[in-house]
Amino acid sequence: MKENVKEILLTEEQIAARVKELGAQLTAEYEGKDLVVVALLKGCAWFVTDLTRAMDLPMRVDFMVASSYGDGTTTSGKVNVKLDLSCDIEGKHVLLVDDIIDSGVTFAAISDMLKERKPASLKTVALCDKAARRINGLDADYVGFVIPDAFIVGYGLDYAQEYRNLPYIGVLDPKVYA
Catalytically active residues, by annotation: 102
DSSP string covering 117-169: T--SEEEEEEEEE-GGG-SS----SEEEEE--SS-EEBTTB-BTTBSTT-SSE
Distance CA 41, CA 12 (A): 20
Contacts of 63 (CB under 8 A, 6+ apart): 38, 39, 40, 41, 83, 85, 86
